[in-house]
Amino acid sequence: MEKEVLIAGAGPSGLALAVSLSRQGIPFTIIDKDSGPGTTSRAMVVQARTLELYEQLGIADKIVVNGIIVNNVSFFKNKNHLARVPIGQLGQEMSAFPYVLILPQDAHENILVNELKSSGHDVQWNHELKHFRDDGDSVEAVIESESGTVTKNFSYICGCDGASSTVRKALDIDFSGGTYKQTFFVADVESDRVLGGPTIGFLDEYFCIGFPIRTMDQVRLIGLIPEAFKEDGEAPEDFSLMIPYAESILPVELKKVNWYSPYRSHHRVAEKFRTGRVFIVGDAGHIHSPAGGQGMNTGIGDAVNLAWKLSAVLKGKTHNSILETYESERIKFARSLVNTTDRLFKFMVDRERLRNVVVPVFIPRLLKFNYMRERLFETISQIQISYHDSDLSVGESGGIKGGDRLPWIRCGEVNNYRPLKSLDWQIHAYGEVNSDVEALVKDTGLGLFHLPWGKSLKDKGIKENSLYLVRPDGHISAAADTENLEVVKNMIDEYQIQSLSGE
């Protein structure tokens, strides 16, 4: 069978897919119709779950070192300081990356492009996927570039080609949802006054968010364009008219506008993420309001989910029915995300609620109650994503179920996420390793990570003598008690799961 995978689109989703496939030794071609990586900041927030996945790929450090860790979020009302909410290490019991990281999308994409380069892969810029034909055994793709049109066969095509996806349209996949009537603005500006961290300003019934980016005097602004600035319902063509407005809502003094874009937000999810040998990934499959900084992170999550499954199938180490679980796992998350961000968006643009609930009630509570901030972190960081309904998830031990993300445990030198860097299936045993566990490890050839029983495990909700079959992406596939491993064995048999390393 043809092994090479075609990745159409080198935005964050396509690049993350390429880095993942490269780590797993799968041949691929990555093309983009643009002439080079994006040059504007767009998605700013890198969530903890993305950093955990990047840690497995060996690139988390490069992302973190180039970003800004958010220690506080400040709130202003009519330019008066209202509150400063500490959020620095909120997730310290939950993740090795217990914070929110700010890194502009263009810088993020450049790190991924360089990472690919250093492993011997170049993005083929100015190459556009025009058509494709799935003949069941492979997919024939027609790619156009300045040097002509090439027709080539691939094992699979991954459409990481953004919201207007050629791949999705060619597959005639419905992309239902809607477009919000409000228009946002996004602008990268330089300010004489420095922001100490993300800052949310309220002025009468409007809000605007400012993020420090790159250097401390550079600020990314995002907010709603007030009706007063629109002409015939259209957003202004340049930002100069809105500078006094931005300065009246946030503590900034603007000296230069580097980039401005009015931005209509959509909420849509594709009716499916796969047809035969063709997949869609990232914005090609789901788009929603930027509320909560989820869009790009979800695309990267899709990419990592698909990469290890493609790799397992192409290496002949898992039954190819595992590919069906890409759509079922990721479409469910995309649908729930679009619903949540839709509710959040409507909440934020409801001027009465903004005046009567957000400012006087929500912000003081956020300031007062640490547990509220922790719950918020759990949700927006994406560490709560689980695949309970997936065919690849089974069993329960204590409170931990098949489909959950492996609880993160670090005590002293021990870190149960370290073995995840193998990007391979593995068995985790917490408590005693009995003869059944030993036999399972011997029969399957999967790596064993074992932690003797201790209080730190109990604190994480782990039951003594529990065993997890852990997927290459760090989610639990099967959870069981060590004295009854039937569900684990059945899962391994059903999907013909083998270690992905070795011949």
3-class SS of residue 161 = coil
List the one residue from 23, 33, 168, 428 that touches ligand FAD (CB under 6 A): 33
Q: Which span (5-13, 200-208, 395-403, 482-490) binds ligand FAD, by CB under 6 A? A: 5-13
User: Least CB distance from residue 11 to ligand FAD, whole Å?
Assistant: 2
Does residue number 92 form part of the binding site for ligand FAD (CB under 6 A)?
A: no
Does residue number 282 form part of the binding site for ligand FAD (CB under 6 A)?
A: yes
Cβ-based neighbours of 243, under 8 Å, separated by 6 or more: 254, 257
Does residue number 104 form part of the binding site for ligand FAD (CB under 6 A)?
A: no
Question: How many residues make contact with ligand FAD (CB under 6 A)?
Answer: 33
User: Least CB distance from residue 169 to ligand FAD, whole Å?
Assistant: 10
Q: Could you say which residues in the range 216-235 bind ligand FAD, by CB under 6 A?
A: 222
For residues 449 and 414, give the distance between their C-alpha atoms in angstroms, rounded to a whole number: 11
Q: Could you say which residues in the range 155-194 bind ligand FAD, by CB under 6 A?
A: 160-162, 166, 186
Q: Which span (28-36, 66-74, 399-407, 442-450) binds ligand FAD, by CB under 6 A? A: 28-36
User: Least CB distance from residue 264 to ligand FAD, whole Å?
Assistant: 10
The tokens of 235 are what? 């957003």
The secondary structure element, H or E, covering residue 427 is strand 426-430
Does residue number 31 form part of the binding site for ligand FAD (CB under 6 A)?
A: yes
Does residue number 42 form part of the binding site for ligand FAD (CB under 6 A)?
A: yes
For residues 400 and 462, give the distance between their C-alpha atoms in angstroms, rounded to a whole number: 7
For residues 282 and 84, give the distance between their C-alpha atoms in angstroms, rounded to a whole number: 34
3-class SS of residue 340 = helix
Would you list the DSSP string of 208-272? EEEEEETBTTEEEEEEE--GGG-BTTBPPSSGGGGHHHHHHHSS--EEEEEEEEEEEEEEEEES-
Q: Convert residues 299-328 into a mask of x (bound to ligand FAD by CB under 6 A) and - (unbound).
A: x-----------------------------
| CA geometry: angle 364, 250, 289, nearest 5 deg | 75
Give the residue among 112, 141, 163 at the shortest CA–CA distance from 4.
Answer: 141
Instruction: Give whichever of 306 and 457 is closer to ligand FAD, judged by the CB atom.
Output: 306
User: Least CB distance from residue 105 to ligand FAD, whole Å?
Assistant: 6
Between the CA atoms of 451, 454, 457 and 463, what dihedral angle is there, to the nearest 10 degrees? 90
Does residue number 295 form part of the binding site for ligand FAD (CB under 6 A)?
A: yes
Q: Convert residues 105-144 into a mask of x (bound to ligand FAD by CB under 6 A) and - (unbound).
A: x----------------------xx---------------
Does residue number 402 form part of the binding site for ligand FAD (CB under 6 A)?
A: no
Does residue number 32 form part of the binding site for ligand FAD (CB under 6 A)?
A: yes
Instruction: Give whichever of 169 and 421 is closer to ligand FAD, judged by the CB atom.
Output: 169
Taken in order 9, 14, 19, 23, the sign of the CA dihedral is negative
Instruction: Give whichever of 283 and 327 is closer to ligand FAD, judged by the CB atom.
Output: 283
List the one residue from 6, 11, 429, 463 that touches ligand FAD (CB under 6 A): 11
Cβ-contact 189, 257 below 8 angstroms: yes
User: Least CB distance from residue 77 to ligand FAD, whole Å?
Assistant: 23
For residues 103 and 214, give the distance between their C-alpha atoms in angstroms, rounded to a whole number: 8
Does residue number 424 form part of the binding site for ligand FAD (CB under 6 A)?
A: no
Instruction: Give whichever of 34 and 190 is closer to ligand FAD, judged by the CB atom.
Output: 34
Give the residue among 178, 174, 375 at the shortest CA–CA distance from 289.
Answer: 178
Alpha helices per DSSP H over 73-199: 105-118, 166-170
User: Least CB distance from residue 141 to ligand FAD, whole Å?
Assistant: 10
Does residue number 251 form part of the binding site for ligand FAD (CB under 6 A)?
A: no
For residues 279 and 323, give the distance between their C-alpha atoms in angstroms, rounded to a whole number: 10
For the chain, state the CA radius of gyration. Answer: 24
Cβ-contact 409, 416 below 8 angstroms: yes
The tokens of 148 are what? 């002509």
Does residue number 10 form part of the binding site for ligand FAD (CB under 6 A)?
A: yes
Does residue number 212 form part of the binding site for ligand FAD (CB under 6 A)?
A: no
Neighbours of 203 (CB within 10 A): 18
Q: Which span (37-45, 67-75, 225-233, 452-460) binds ligand FAD, by CB under 6 A? A: 37-45
Does residue number 34 form part of the binding site for ligand FAD (CB under 6 A)?
A: yes
Instruction: Give whichever of 220 and 428 is closer to ligand FAD, judged by the CB atom.
Output: 220
For 332, phi and psi rounded to 5 degrees?
A: -65, -45
Q: Could you say which residues in the range 425-484 bind ligand FAD, by CB under 6 A?
A: none
Instruction: Give whichever of 261 and 328 is closer to ligand FAD, judged by the CB atom.
Output: 261
Residues that bind ligand FAD (CB under 6 A): 8-14, 31-34, 42-44, 105, 128-129, 160-162, 166, 186, 222, 261, 263, 282-283, 290, 293-296, 299
